[in-house]
Each structure stands twice: as structure tokens, then as C-alpha cells.
Amino acid sequence: MKFQINPNTSLNQNLVIIPVLEDHLASILELKLKRTIKPNLFSGKKNSTFILESEDQTFLLIGLGKNPSYSDISHSFRRILSKNSEWVESGIKIDFADEFSSEMAESALVGLQLGTYSLAFFKKEQSKSYDDLEVSIYSGLVDLEKVLKRATKIAKAKIEAFKMVDLPPNVLTPEYLANWAKEKAKNSAIQTIVFDEEKAEKEGLKAFLAVGRGSAKPSRFIILEYRHSAAKFHLGLVGKGVTFDTGGLNIKTAGMVHMKSDMGGAAAVLAATQLIADLELPINLTTIVPAVENSVDKDAYLPSEVIGSHAGLSIEVIDTDAEGRLILADGLSYMVQNYSPDQLIDFATLTGSSVGTFGYECGALFANEESFSKEIQDASMAAGEKVWPLPLWEAYRSEMDSEVADIKNYHGKPIAGAITAAKFLEAFTHGHTKWAHLDIAGVAFGDTEFSKTKSGTAFGVGLLLKFIENQL
């Protein structure tokens, strides 16, 4: 897209977009269109639209309701190109009312750019390109240029997260993620370190290596370091990077076709790392992604095996489909032991139990410090990427007791699955006092209005940005 801010001359742009707040409908229409519209036809209600035509322009009125959230506005603007691209012939003009704040304009511009994303990676006929689409923005905001630059960086990061989750597993492999991370190190303040399997063995990442044993695609332990000279705090992120999950020898009996999405946690933390570096936020950030494929062959790890871990704890493998917590265990332990971040958060598409509890509306939040939990939850609500707390009571720890090892990876019961998984992870945090685990199994990938099949949501990117900036 080619953006212009408050251009002096009128450009040949056939689609004029006017976002409308419900309480300000009359004044906006009188000012922008010099006319009125009957309230029973259009009143500015949330998710409503109204089209007016002149001789050479189409006016698209987008109703946002009375108090739209960031995600409400973003979704409304994403629909323009994602679902109605035929409306655009020569260009777009966006006319923001005076009531539009910088944050509202940002969410609109993020959404408009997200609308260019398509799943048609491998179609013979590629989807429409918007690289040369001219977009004029009219607004009285004094910081509009800054808003546009920031919105473009946010949209770019979210599209990266979309793409990572949506690419097929023969393309999106552990090596692909490692190369993606290395590429980031070429053009930004990010330093990338990648352990191959030999190096991971020397580092004692035994649980991580066990999961990838059955795959022809080699595992990669990925570390990204972003440092700022005026850092306010050090944040550690760990993302589950299972690029495809067959379930291992406890093979999945349903839904395996969607298991390319089992690296939604990795996508969230990698894209967020890119965004934090692009925005030059004053924090220190360390991101770890243990990337593996959980497959089946003669070398695959077995139910009832006892494996080691970076933390020195032995683990009895009850179920090879509880693999995500094994690679996260080594990721968390390595993070704490080698980087000692002030705050530690992991993202993972971890359990069906979290979906059973919250459906596809929000993720499950576990945190070992109440104010830390509240900060994450508040950020999630503001970003429109909701999480809700569940307990980490010590009573659940005994569910993971093993007769033969220090801990088992699955309690084998159809109850409290998300909680017991969180208690398992807690055992590998070395008593870190500000740790949170976000189980995003129901929200990282799913049915949306923007594609005909399940697709990535970039869940976690906006949450992390809001969480960080709330502390600056």
C-alpha cells in the first residue's frame, strides 16, 4: 500500500471510507456528506455498513457502535479488502472524524492492512496484490504520521504470525522457524542463537530432544535476544513450537489435519519479538522457541519411557501426545537458568481442556503472582485477545506424582487437564516469582470470518504489546 496523509490535491480514489460512531452519526454525515440518512436504514450500529454512490465515487459508511474496542475497529476495517475487494477500483480515501483518537485510527489502519492477507500461498492464480494501492488518510490528528508507521509495524507482525500458523507442515518446519529467526537478526537489534540437536544434547535439553526423535525433520532450539540501552525491565518469552503434532505413538484419532497450528505459541512470541524490535521499545527481551515435529517412526519416544530434562528432573512419559509441555519444560528451565528475566511468560496451544472450559472465546491464564496476573488480564481485555485466570493451587501438584520418576507428563484423567499441565510446567521454572502460562489452544487457530477454513489469529501479539507498553 502507498499511504498519503492529508494530501493537498484530490486523488482519483473511487472508494471513500467514513467510519461512523453511533452517537455522532448526524454530525458526521452532515459534515462529510452534506446529507442525512434515515436512522432505520443506517444508524452507525456496530458491524453495520451503508453504501452511497455518486457519479465517480462510492461512499462506504462503517458503523462502529457507541464505544468500539480496538479489535472491533480493526475487524471492521479488515473486512474492506478481505471480503469486499471488488469495491476498490483505483484507490481508497479514509476520512476520520474529529472524534477519532490516535488509538482508534491505529486500529483502523492495522485492520485495513490485515485485510490484504490471503491463504492462497500455493494457488496457480495468486490473490490480488495491494502493493500499489493508493490510500489517502484525512484526519485532524497531529501525530497521524506516527500512528501510521506504528500501525504498519503492528500489521506486519500480525501477518507474520498468521502466515507461520497457516503454512503447511512440509514448509513450516523447525528449520524454517530457525531460519526466520536468523533473518530477523540481519536487519534489527535482534541477536539469534540456534541450537541443533548436537548442541541441544550438550546443553542438557533432553525432554526437548525426546519429542523430536521420531521425526525426519531435525529439531531446533531457537533463542532471540533483543536489548535496549534504556531498558525498563527484562521479559522472557517461551513459545511452544510443535510444527506438526501427530500425537506420537499415542496417535491422534481426530483433528490431526489441524495440527499444523500446534506452534501458535511460537508464532505469537516470534511475531511479538519482531514488533518489539521494530518499535524499539525500551525493554530487554529474550525469546525461546523449542521447535520440533512430534511424529512416529522406529525412534519415536515411547509411553512409559523415563526421560531427562534441563532442570535435572526425571519425567515419566504417560502420553506422547502431552509433548508440548515437555519442550516447554526445557525452554522455561533454560530461560531461567541462563537469562534470569524479571518476568517470564509462556504461550502454548497446550490442552483441549482449556477449550473445554472457555471454548473459542478466550485463553486460560495461570500466574504465580496476583498483580502480575491482573496486569496480563487487563492487557488482554484491552487488546481484544482475552485470557481468564485459573488456579495454580498446590493441591493439583500431586496429580503429577510418579512412582518411578520425579514427575509424570500427564495425569491420565479427564479432569483439570489445563491446570495439571500448568502445574507440570511450574516444576521447571526454578521458583521464578513472576511466571505466567497462557494456554491458547482455543484461540490461536480457528474459524474466522476472514477465510473459509480454520486459520491463524495472531493471538498474543496485541496482548504482549499492550502488556509491555502498560509498564513503560
Averaged pLDDT for residues 159-186: 97
Q: What is the pLDDT of residue 43?
A: 84
Q: Taking Cα atoms as reference points, which of 210, 195, 323 lies closest to residue 259? A: 323
CATH number, domain containing residue 228 = 3.40.630.10
Indicate whether 150 belongs to any domain: no
CATH number, domain containing residue 25 = 3.40.220.10
Q: Can you name the residues that pair with 62 across neighbouring β-strands? A: 19, 49
Query: Pick from 113, 140, 167: which residue ends a domain?
Result: 140
- Residues 352, 244, single domain; the answer is yes
Averaged pLDDT for residues 364-375: 98
Return the ∠ at Cα 327 (arms to 156 and 458), rounded to 5°: 20
- Residues 49, 198, single domain; the answer is no
- Residues 390, 247, single domain; the answer is yes
Ranges 98-102, 245-249, 332-336, 421-425: which has the least confidence: 98-102
For residue range 326-346, what is the model confidence (pLDDT) as tens digits?
999 999 999 999 999 999 999
Q: Are 324 and 417 in contact (CB under 8 A)?
A: no
**Count of structural domains, the chain:** 2
Query: Pick from 114, 140, 166: which residue ends a domain?
Result: 140
- Residues 254, 119, single domain; the answer is no
For residue range 130-147, what is the model confidence (pLDDT) as tens digits?
988 999 999 999 999 999
Indicate whether 317 belongs to any domain: yes
Query: What three-state secondary structure class fits 335?
Result: helix
Q: Can you name the residues that pair with 235 across neighbouring β-strands? A: 285, 343
Q: What is the pLDDT of residue 127?
A: 77
For residue range 235-260, what is the model confidence (pLDDT) as tens digits?
999 999 999 999 999 999 999 999 99
Q: What is the pLDDT of residue 90?
A: 82
Q: What is the pTM of this model?
A: 0.96
Q: Is 252 a catalytic residue?
A: yes
Indicate whether 84 belongs to any domain: yes
pLDDT above 90: residue 12:
no
- Residues 257, 115, single domain; the answer is no
Q: Taking Cα atoms as reference points, which of 65, 28, 30 lies closest to residue 49? A: 65
- Residues 92, 208, single domain; the answer is no
Q: Taking Cα atoms as reference points, which of 235, 232, 206 lies closest to residue 221? A: 206
pLDDT above 80: residue 23:
no
For residue range 276-295, what is the model confidence (pLDDT) as tens digits?
999 999 999 999 999 999 99
Query: Pick from 99, 115, 140: which residue ends a domain?
Result: 140
- Residues 214, 132, single domain; the answer is no
Indicate whether 449 belongs to any domain: yes
- In the DSSP assignment, the letter for residue 303 is T
Indicate whether 73 belongs to any domain: yes
Which range of residues forms the domain containing residue 119? 2-140
Return the ∠ at Cα 323 (arms to 322 and 327), rounded to 5°: 135
For residue range 298-313, what is the model confidence (pLDDT) as tens digits?
999 999 999 999 999 9
pLDDT above 80: residue 79:
yes
Query: What would the grid cell of residue 427 be?
Result: 516444576
Averaged pLDDT for residues 86-103: 89
pLDDT above 90: residue 180:
yes
- Residues 107, 161, single domain; the answer is no
For residue range 371-401, what is the model confidence (pLDDT) as tens digits?
999 999 999 999 999 999 999 999 999 999 9
Start-to-end Cα distance in the chain? 31
Cell 479427564 sits on residue: 414
pLDDT above 70: residue 11:
no
Indicate whether 286 belongs to any domain: yes
Q: Which of 232, 252, 397, 454 is catalytic?
A: 252
Indicate whether 145 belongs to any domain: no
For residue range 25-57, what is the model confidence (pLDDT) as tens digits?
766 666 667 677 888 888 889 999 999 887 778
Q: What is the pLDDT of residue 290?
A: 98
Q: What is the pLDDT of residue 30?
A: 66
Residues in the chain: 472
Q: Which of 325, 408, 423, 434 is catalytic?
A: 325
Q: What is the pLDDT of residue 26?
A: 67
Q: For the chain, what percent of residues have pLDDT higher than 90?
A: 85
Report how far residue 358's alpha carbon sits from residue 422's, in angstroms, rounded to the nearest whole number.
16
Report how far residue 369's alpha carbon sits from residue 199's, in angstroms, rounded to the nearest whole number.
34
- Residues 166, 249, single domain; the answer is yes
Query: What would the grid cell of residue 167 be?
Result: 503454512
Return the ∠ at Cα 160 (arms to 154 and 166), rounded to 5°: 135
Indicate whether 211 belongs to any domain: yes
Report how far residue 416's alpha carbon sits from residue 130's, in angstroms, rounded to the nearest whole number.
47
For residue range 196-220, what is the model confidence (pLDDT) as tens digits?
999 999 999 999 999 999 999 999 9
- Residues 92, 181, single domain; the answer is no
- Residues 121, 230, single domain; the answer is no
Which band of pLDDT confidence, cut at 50, 70 and 90, is reported for residue 98? confident
Which band of pLDDT confidence, cut at 50, 70 and 90, is reported for residue 97? confident
- In the DSSP assignment, the letter for residue 196 is -
Please report which helix (H) or strand (E) contains residue 220, including its range: strand 220-226
- Residues 78, 225, single domain; the answer is no
